[in-house]
Amino acid sequence: MLVFSNTSLQLSLINPGNPRALYFSDDLYLGYVPGGKIEVATIDAQLGAVFYIFDIPRSDSRVIVERARRCMNCHANEDTLQVPGLSVKSVAPGPGGGSLDTFHPGQSGHTQPLAERFGGWYVTGTGRFDKHWGNRMGRLYQGELSATPLEPGTQFSFARYPVATSDLLAHLLHEHQVGGINRLIRAQYRFRELRHQNQGALPKNLPPDLETELADLLGYLLFAQEASLPQSGVPGDPAFRQAFARNRKSIGGHSLKDLDLQTRLLRFRCSYLVHTPFFDGLDQDLRRRILQDLDRALEPSTQRSLSAEKTNAAARHLSDEEAAVIRTILRATVPGFPNGNLKAD
């Protein structure tokens, strides 16, 4: 993906004619801007997002990697739920890449309306979908904000980058991951705080505000309130789709990484983040609670407890058939999932 709004420690280098590239896997992020340095963000279950920066290797000499503490200025604020996390901003960018306005500050993830996403980013592979803020330059005149088109590749050459795309599907999956990772890191920090306050143990009853956060996390993992995809669907770059599916875990041919791309992002709406080492490294009581909540939420509608209102609400958008497939996948592929005695493919 390519971003041309002024972001990262290297903001002086980033503009519409020299965008910053971002490459990512399920839990590793790498940034590159021509003429600058390599930036890396890893997701640590105990610390949250950890940032590094180093010069682009030019010879066989040893690479000196710096722990980039200044990144916390932007990666531990309201945009990351006040914990060390990831940030994806959508802005109305000015001609030099500076922000004229910001959409939905302090919020991230797949629930944000598409019409206000991708501002300050180049987006390719959109098909007929153009109702978004990607590929646009903002202009503020007499208090009115307007936008003009900015076609990817007209102000820079794709040849300067390893991949000649900034694919819409990559943007959508990246935003889902950021929203999920930040919520999980936030819950991890809350559990650690509780242990510190209670001599290493958790209280019998969690604080009401934490219960609310866990309900929000559960709904997010199950794609409750996911913004609908454009009516034309999302094509998805074939090379990216292949790379994304490379580490899929499945049973009966079904996987949490199976894409839908017609009306929603995933065919089986449960986040594949539960398959990451980051998720496995969470506080074990927190991880157990999340898996138990998922199990209860995915019960057949006729068996759901009337007392578990918040858990039931998280899966209300799922049919019994979809919920059953998700539950089967989790039982076969996630260690510690209740009744997880099924064998994966």
Q: What is the amino acid identity at position 56?
A: I
Whether 50 and 69 have beta carbons less than 8 Å apart is answered as no
CA distances in angstroms from 73 to 80, 206, 271, listed in the order given: 11, 30, 28
- Looking at residue 297, its pLDDT comes to 94
> Residue 345: what pLDDT?
78
What is the structure's pLDDT at 38?
A: 94
Ramachandran angles phi, psi of 300, nearest 5°: -55, 145
How confident is the model at residue 306, as a pLDDT? Answer: 53
Per-domain boundaries in the chain:
168-333
Answer for the pair 143, 153: CB distance below 8 angstroms, yes or no: no
**Segments in the chain below pLDDT 50:** 307
Q: What is the DSSP string of 42-99?
A: EEETTTEEEEEEEPPP-SSSPP--EE-GGGHHHHSSGGGTTSS-----EEEE-TTS-E
- Is beta strand 38-44 parallel, antiparallel or unpaired with respect to 28-32? antiparallel
- Residue 63's pLDDT is 85
C-alpha–C-alpha distance, residues 339 and 67, integer Å: 42
Assigned token pair, 231: 């009516």
pLDDT of residue 258: 98
Tokens found for residue 2:
């390519």
First-to-last alpha carbon distance for the chain, in angstroms, is 32
Contact 26/14 with Cβ under 8 angstroms? no
pLDDT score recorded for residue 80: 76
Do 43 and 14 meet the contact criterion of CB atoms below 8 Å apart?
A: no
DSSP state of 201: -
Residue 309: what residue type? E
Per-residue model confidence as pLDDT tens digits over 219-253: 999 999 999 999 889 999 999 999 999 999 999 99
| Stated pTM of the model | 0.93
For the chain, the maximum distance between any two Cα atoms, rounded to a whole number of angstroms, is 65
| Residue 71 confidence (pLDDT) | 72
The set of residues, in sequence order, having a beta carbon less than 8 Å from that of 217 and lying 6+ positions away, is 183, 184, 187, 290
| Token pair in block for residue 72 | 């916390």
Instruction: Please choose, from the candidates 289, 266, 272, 276, the residue with its C-alpha nearest in 3D space to the C-alpha of residue 337.
Output: 289
CB of 170 closer than 8 Å to CB of 237 = yes
In angstroms, rounded to a whole number, what is the distance separating the alpha carbons of residues 301 and 340? 20
Alpha-carbon distance values, 134 to 96, 101, 112, 129, 176 (Å): 15, 14, 14, 11, 17
